[in-house]
Chains A and B, each alone.
Chain A
Amino acid sequence: MANTPRAGGAGAQRPNGTVQNKVCQFKLVLLGESAVGKSSLVLRFVKGQFHEYQESTIGAAFLTQPLRVEDTAVKFEIWDTAGQERYHSLAPMYYRGAQAAIVVYDIPNQDTFGRAKNWVKELHKQASPPIVIALAGNKADLANKRVVEFEEAQQYADENRLLIMETSAKTMVNDIFLAIAKKLPKSEAKGGAAEEHRVGAVPTQQRASGCCK
């Protein structure tokens, strides 16, 4: 994974133009029940850190991470959303225009898997069509407390054409991001198409739809 120089810098430059200097930028959103480890996944991926007592996310957090896939420089713009059901109304603001989504559940908790299914349904209905969705069964290190069997999740993922992977923010999470990056189309044309849906364009839509319903 080679680091590409961070795009952007001074003034008027619009950093999240999708292809800059052959860097493909992708908007990725993390969804899932609260405390399943969304923020931890991102933190591990971006900073290589893990905090046992990771603070809850209110609203959303934003992080970026460049990586190289098959000679293409890819940069993920990651929106890490709040998990609590009440913040649901904010979610469309983040997943609209996203090229990828990771729906997270934790394997010791059946309810979070149910919630993940709901998210997948919603994404299929609401998100911009060519979205790549990955299902992440987090907290794989707590295998002895497992409730959600991998087979069960796998079956569901196959039915819904999702990527599926079990992850542990304590140890390794890069694989899932790599798998997503591989699956994403990296042609310039594609990137250009995504341009319309990027976050920067959100406010207009959002003013119309209201952000905190």
Chain B
Amino acid sequence: MDDYGGKLKREKGESERLKLPPWLKTKIPTGSNYARIRDQLRHLNLHTVCEEARCPNIGECWGGGKHGTATATIMICQMEGLIILQKPYEKSSDKFSVVSLSTNILYIQSGSEEFEDSLVEAAIRETEALRNSSILVECLVPDFRGDTVAVKTIVDSGLDVFAHNIETVEKLTPYVRDRRAHYRQSLKVLGAAKETNPELITKSSIMLGLGETDDEVQQTLTDSQLKMAAPFKCFGEGSGLSFICINYKHCKNESCGKSNNWNTVWRADVLIYLPLSVYSTVKMSPVASPTIGTQFGGLTFFARSHPGELCGSNGLPLTPNSITIFGRAQFLKTINHPYLCSYLDIIRGKHERTVVVSEYHSRTVNSGLFSIDEIVKIAYQTLQALSYLNDLGIVHRCLCPENMVLTEEGNIQLFNYGLYYMTGGGADVSFPIGHPKYIAPEVYLSGRSTKSGPKVDIWSLGMIILELALRRHLWSDLKLAQCMRKVLSLLHIKVSVLERLVREHGCWEQCQELPPEIRDFISKCLSVSPCERPSPQQLLEHELFKDLKKDEVAAEEMQYQIFPGFHSRRKPVSKSVKHPLLERSLQELYYLWHLAGGDVQTELKKQGLIRSKAPILSIPNLVLLEGTIFGQVRDQTSMLDLRVVPLHLDTLYQRLVHMPLTSYYPLIETKSEIIEKEVEEPSEAASLPLVIRERDTEYQFHRVVLYDRLIKGYPYKKAAVLKEARKDIPPLYRGNIWAALLEVDGDVEGTYVAVDKETPTHTDRQIEVDIPRCHQYDELLSSCEGHRKFKRVLKAWVVSHPQYVYWQGLDSLCAPFLYLNFSNEAQAFACLSAFIPKYLHNFFLKDNSAVIQEYLAKFSHLIAFHDPALANHLAGISFIPELFAIPWFLTMFSHVFPLHKIFHLWDKLLLGDASFPLYVGLAILHQLRDTLLASGFNECILLFSDLPEIDMERCVTDSIELYCSTPRSVTYRQHELQASPSTDTDRNTAELVSFSIFLK
């Protein structure tokens, strides 16, 4: 509002037309959906409020927005008691016509505030008629002058959403609304609807900009929330979501800015918001599933940026903190525990922004009242989670009710527990980590550089449990600084912290009524000295959890650990029937959600967590030569955003809604050949180019589901993995599939752990200078964590293969494996160790000249065999493979191509034998053939020094074709790894055959 330079008011005497300010403008409705609905309405002679009132939002409602959920409002007129201008309603054809409207949600709105029996009847008839269709019905009703019987009747008619608008705050009601309408009466109506059917979704709207104050709006929100949401349980059931809309389109100029604020406040802490399209989807899904409990939450913060251009000790620029965080946070993705939200993704945005995506549930501990038993359960589960985190060396540090979410089953899941860990104990960010009220006093006392131990979380837990037990917020009206002072004041008191806090809030009696175990538990947690404060493990033995422990022993023993390799990270599901999609692992869901068009950054932008600034506004005022920047200091308060944006799965559900149940459970083992043949129906997508297949949601869904099962069956399903890999490999499981193709098996972890990766060796220097140059465009490999892992894996390989030495190029060879198994070094090492003998046998000998010479000679033979003209030309200009092909074969092309190309190349390379890379080399020459034939020595060598773009898919197809059409004898090598003869020939024939099949 402040930024608007235009005029809002005409001065006296002025007569020119004023421009409409930008916030009152909307797009002209367009789109096929809009046109279709409009035509249908004209055809049926139906009229809608949307059009009659020239609603500015008509384009969005009818067009259906991005979810394609069209809505239209048909008005019931008081005079006619029927759909407006649609006179003889009772005609069956009309009923049909309503249903045939291509809307997913239908609003029925009464035309008047006045109550009329016929109106109710009409509304009921309307909803009942529509009940059986797939259309969701929302009724916007008057207050019926507070007649609860009328409300009940409406609710019982089976509508989906009950809407009644409060319109404005209490104070302004007499001026804004009809004099017969009352604020309290409206609340009563909403309450009555909720009482009649607690599952019902109730909805209300208020207008802003009529002169109300912030406090009044807050009051209205609180009042209406209580009415609609009470009892709190409705949150727990998940289906009875209620929400309030603040209609800021209505707001007048003065408070335009204000209304946006409210939009924020309301999202941040008042109610759960669920877009309509979600429940419309639920209704459409083939397996009835009333709730989508699982969703993703995105949050974002900025890393501390390095001042100016600084170099590290090696002369290279310092790694940006966001990359350091990115590398460190990868570990969090491997954590799987029932009481911890799984981390799904870490994304680096612009300007050192980090976006974290993790499992999320919109119900937090903050949003409810709990019985003592429930509180004990909360404490117990939190302690288990904390104890697990401590074992992994992670401290939560920002434990607060907002970071404790409740699952559908009512279990606790800690959220955002990795922030302190991934930022290196807060070192990589400039904001403090933790909620002032719940931070332990020793954190304030020690400096920022001191790392917090696990006991700070226990203090926070004590504070939270105390609040839950007393059912009130401590220090609720205190400002941040006062809060900190209060915490610090607890250091010097003579009585116990518990007693002090309770007396301060005047609830000593209430506290005395609490069970003594709880009081004891809380006061133990709130020991001022961290030495006296028990650890999570000790607290789990507390008296308080006696009963819970018994239950747990009786229940099946749950064993959770970090599953690195092949094991699924699926959690046990509850017995209730769920949509099969919900049984997929979160990682899979997230991956598919991405493919289905989900974009975290866009969602965050939509919710205002990412705000883009015009580039000119972020240019510094002054930059010194050495890089110091003045001006445009980043606002410190914008470094961390506490809001969590729920990322809804609805787009994904819609994409996969037509999937038959069987596709979730593909048949991978059949005894009957007939069935097997039937199962193997080639999908249309299979013939598409690889890059498109990798982005196709449905296709990837099938592949991911299938591979998930195959990998779980490894090594018994090795043959099947090989067979499927010939088609393609889904990026999500590439790491594991490669490991399977390389026949990695046995005690991978144990072997790796046993190798000495720490003792300095004389190759260290070479490894150290090579790593910061190897595929450093990639965020993972350029992170500090990445460098450390890289070094360990390379050292482990060198140490465990004394017959070999480190040749430059081994780093490139290791990079793809490390990238794919970033959180599983052991598997990366195992893959590398399996890959080298298979394809590069003896290439890493100290004296490898004979091996390489033979390989390159074979390459020359192969060129001559397939392309004599090219071979002659190259020989004529003395362009020998020694000059260009050593990096190709020594690194199996990993030194010459970027990672994404290597993946596609190796996907196929891993299916072939040691001679296959020769064909890849030949296929590359083929792609450059025309240039090579037309060039002399210098041009040729220049061409290879800076290899031009190679079409990888074509290259791979060509290689396979060449492979299949070449006699084995052409590529016979003396230095090849000699396997036992029988199996070798078997496999090679099998491969040849399979490649031929692939080509067909």
Q: Interface on A for B, CB 8 Å cutoff? A: 7-16, 34-35, 52-64, 77, 82-84, 86-87, 89-90, 93, 108, 111, 139, 141-142, 145, 199-203, 206, 210-213
On chain B, the residues within 8 Å of A202 by CB distance are 878
Interface residue SS majority, chain A = loop
Known: A14-B936, A58-B808. A212 touches B942 (CB 8 A): no
B315 touches A56 (CB 8 A): no
User: Chain B residue with minimal CB distance to A89?
Assistant: B849
Known: A35-B769, A202-B878. A59 touches B886 (CB 8 A): yes
Known: A84-B808, A200-B878. A58 touches B886 (CB 8 A): yes
- Choose from B847, B890, B945 the contact partner of A61 (Cβ within 8 Å): B945
How far is B848's CA from A213's CA once the two chains are assembled, in angstroms?
A: 7
A62 touches B945 (CB 8 A): yes
How far is B890's CA from A58's CA once the two chains are assembled, in angstroms?
A: 9
- Choose from A15, A89, A93 the contact partner of B938 (Cβ within 8 Å): A15
On chain B, the residues within 8 Å of A139 by CB distance are 315
21 CB-based A-B contacts, threshold 8 Å: A7-B938, A12-B876, A14-B936, A15-B938, A16-B936, A16-B937, A52-B776, A55-B895, A56-B809, A58-B887, A58-B890, A58-B891, A64-B942, A82-B808, A84-B807, A84-B808, A87-B807, A90-B886, A145-B313, A212-B847, A212-B852
On chain B, the residues within 8 Å of A210 by CB distance are 849, 853
A145 touches B936 (CB 8 A): no
On chain A, the residues within 8 Å of B782 by CB distance are 53
How far is B781's CA from A53's CA once the two chains are assembled, in angstroms?
A: 12
Chain A CB count within 10 A is highest, among B313, B315, B886, for B315
Give B866-913 interface residues, CB cut-off 8 Å to A: 876-878, 880, 882-884, 886-887, 890-891, 895
A34 touches B769 (CB 8 A): yes
User: B160 within 8 Å of A by Cβ?
Assistant: no
B849 touches A213 (CB 8 A): yes
How far is B805's CA from A209's CA once the two chains are assembled, in angstroms?
A: 23
B880 vs chain A, min Cβ distance (A) = 5
- Choose from B765, B853, B891, B936 the contact partner of A15 (Cβ within 8 Å): B936
Known: A15-B939, A62-B941, A145-B313. A35 touches B887 (CB 8 A): no
On chain B, the residues within 8 Å of A84 by CB distance are 766, 807-808
- Choose from B777, B849, B883 the contact partner of A53 (Cβ within 8 Å): B777
On chain B, the residues within 8 Å of A8 by CB distance are 935-936, 938-939
How far is B883's CA from A212's CA once the two chains are assembled, in angstroms?
A: 12
Shortest Cβ-Cβ A-B pairs, 5 listed: A212-B849, A53-B776, A35-B769, A58-B887, A59-B886
How far is B769's CA from A54's CA once the two chains are assembled, in angstroms?
A: 11
User: B770 within 8 Å of A by Cβ?
Assistant: yes
B780 vs chain A, min Cβ distance (A) = 14
- Choose from B313, B878, B887 the contact partner of A59 (Cβ within 8 Å): B887
- Choose from A53, A62, A86 the contact partner of B808 (Cβ within 8 Å): A86
A35 touches B941 (CB 8 A): no
B901 vs chain A, min Cβ distance (A) = 15
A77 touches B807 (CB 8 A): no
Give B762-795 interface residues, CB cut-off 8 Å to A: 765-766, 769-770, 772-774, 776-777, 782
User: B143 within 8 Å of A by Cβ?
Assistant: no
- Choose from A58, A63, A77, A211 the contact partner of B809 (Cβ within 8 Å): A58
On chain A, the residues within 8 Å of B880 by CB distance are 203
How far is B891's CA from A109's CA once the two chains are assembled, in angstroms?
A: 28
Known: A58-B887, A86-B807, A210-B853. A63 touches B939 (CB 8 A): no
Number of A-B contacts (CB under 8 A): 124
Given A86-B806, A211-B852, 15 more contacts at CB 8 Å?
A8-B938, A11-B936, A12-B876, A14-B937, A16-B936, A52-B317, A55-B774, A58-B895, A59-B887, A62-B944, A84-B807, A89-B849, A142-B311, A203-B880, A212-B852
How far is B942's CA from A16's CA once the two chains are assembled, in angstroms?
A: 13
On chain B, the residues within 8 Å of A56 by CB distance are 769-770, 773-774, 808-809, 811
B936 touches A35 (CB 8 A): no
How far is B878's CA from A64's CA once the two chains are assembled, in angstroms?
A: 18
On chain B, the residues within 8 Å of A55 by CB distance are 773-774, 895
On chain B, the residues within 8 Å of A89 by CB distance are 849
Known: A142-B315, A210-B853. A53 touches B938 (CB 8 A): no
Q: Interface on B for A, CB 8 Å cutoff? A: 311, 313, 315-317, 765-766, 769-770, 772-774, 776-777, 782, 805-809, 811-812, 846-850, 852-853, 876-878, 880, 882-884, 886-887, 890-891, 895, 934-939, 941-942, 944-945
How far is B361's CA from A103's CA once the two chains are assembled, in angstroms?
A: 63
B853 touches A212 (CB 8 A): yes
How far is B853's CA from A201's CA once the two chains are assembled, in angstroms?
A: 18
On chain A, the residues within 8 Å of B315 by CB distance are 108, 139, 141-142, 145
How far is B765's CA from A111's CA once the two chains are assembled, in angstroms?
A: 11
How far is B935's CA from A213's CA once the two chains are assembled, in angstroms?
A: 30
Known: A58-B887, A211-B853. A64 touches B316 (CB 8 A): no
On chain A, the residues within 8 Å of B311 by CB distance are 142
A13 touches B936 (CB 8 A): yes
B721 vs chain A, min Cβ distance (A) = 32
A31 vs chain B, min Cβ distance (A) = 15
How far is B941's CA from A60's CA once the two chains are assembled, in angstroms?
A: 10
How far is B313's CA from A139's CA once the two chains are assembled, in angstroms?
A: 13
B849 touches A35 (CB 8 A): no
User: Chain B residue with minimal CB distance to A202?
Assistant: B878
Known: A58-B891, A200-B878. A64 touches B772 (CB 8 A): no
How far is B880's CA from A201's CA once the two chains are assembled, in angstroms?
A: 11
A16 touches B938 (CB 8 A): yes
How far is B872's CA from A12's CA once the two chains are assembled, in angstroms?
A: 12
How far is B18's CA from A100's CA once the two chains are assembled, in angstroms?
A: 77
On chain B, the residues within 8 Å of A63 by CB distance are 942, 945
How far is B315's CA from A132's CA once the two chains are assembled, in angstroms?
A: 30
User: Chain A residue with minimal CB distance to B882?
Assistant: A211
Known: A53-B772, A64-B942, A89-B849. A34 touches B882 (CB 8 A): no
A11 vs chain B, min Cβ distance (A) = 7
B811 touches A59 (CB 8 A): no
How far is B938's CA from A10's CA once the two chains are assembled, in angstroms?
A: 12
User: Chain A residue with minimal CB distance to B853?
Assistant: A212
On chain A, the residues within 8 Å of B895 by CB distance are 55, 58
- Choose from B773, B849, B941 the contact partner of A54 (Cβ within 8 Å): B773
On chain B, the residues within 8 Å of A60 by CB distance are 883
On chain B, the residues within 8 Å of A9 by CB distance are 936
B316 touches A52 (CB 8 A): yes
On chain B, the residues within 8 Å of A16 by CB distance are 936-938
Chain A CB count within 10 A is highest, among B806, B809, B876, B890, for B809
- Choose from B765, B808, B878 the contact partner of A87 (Cβ within 8 Å): B808
Known: A200-B877, A212-B848. A35 touches B770 (CB 8 A): yes
How far is B882's CA from A83's CA once the two chains are assembled, in angstroms?
A: 17
On chain B, the residues within 8 Å of A111 by CB distance are 765
B316 touches A53 (CB 8 A): yes
A13 vs chain B, min Cβ distance (A) = 6
B773 touches A53 (CB 8 A): yes
User: Chain B residue with minimal CB distance to A200?
Assistant: B878
How far is B883's CA from A206's CA once the two chains are assembled, in angstroms?
A: 12
On chain A, the residues within 8 Å of B891 by CB distance are 58
How far is B938's CA from A28's CA once the two chains are assembled, in angstroms?
A: 14
A153 vs chain B, min Cβ distance (A) = 18
B882 touches A200 (CB 8 A): no
How far is B407's CA from A68's CA once the two chains are assembled, in angstroms?
A: 74
On chain B, the residues within 8 Å of A211 by CB distance are 849, 852-853, 882
- Choose from A34, A53, A77, A206 the contact partner of B766 (Cβ within 8 Å): A34
On chain B, the residues within 8 Å of A77 by CB distance are 938
B731 vs chain A, min Cβ distance (A) = 24
User: Chain B residue with minimal CB distance to A201?
Assistant: B878
A106 vs chain B, min Cβ distance (A) = 8
How far is B941's CA from A94's CA once the two chains are assembled, in angstroms?
A: 13
A213 touches B316 (CB 8 A): no
How far is B856's CA from A59's CA once the two chains are assembled, in angstroms?
A: 13
